[in-house]
Amino acid sequence: MPQCQHEIIGPSRREGISVRVCPVCLHEAHSSGAIKRECPGASPVKAERPREDRSQCAYRGELLRLQECKPCQAQGKPAIEVYACDQYKECTLQNTSIWPRIKGCSTCGKWQPPKAVDS
């Protein structure tokens, strides 16, 4: 577990002692030096795993339309692509705040990679 990262917030009533607080778990300590303590509020460092490429899906069909969307959700574009979907009728590559909701492939629990085509 990661260690607390205490920061000095001021002097203590005792000479030579500082009041230190961990900004993560808010643990307060009075000490003249560094505090060695496991921080219960810090999340353990997880190994990054490669992000799954969901640009293709076995259920996604042809492009149905471009739908107006907030630029932040359309990667800077004024519209997102809406596709036919065998699972949800319609889908997009990313989740959006379009209402009514259109399922995004990036977080879909039913996503399947395209089936291999026999040659």
Q: Which residues pair with 11 in a beta bridge?
A: 18
What contacts 23, CB < 8 A, 6 or more positions away?
A: 5, 7
pLDDT in tens, 21-75: 888 888 888 888 888 888 877 766 555 556 667 778 889 999 999 887 765 555 5
Other C-beta atoms closer than 10 Å to the C-beta of 31 total 14
Task: Give the C-alpha separation, 115 to 96, whole Å.
Answer: 27
pLDDT in tens, 87-108: 899 998 877 777 778 888 877 8
R_g over Cα of the chain: 25
> Quick one: pLDDT at residue 119?
43
Task: Give the C-alpha separation, 2 to 93, whole Å.
Answer: 36
> Quick one: pLDDT at residue 10?
82
Q: Return the closest-CA partner of residue 3 out of 46, 47, 48, 35.
A: 35
- Ranges of each domain in the chain: 1-44, 60-107
Confidence of residue 5 (pLDDT cuts 50, 70, 90): confident
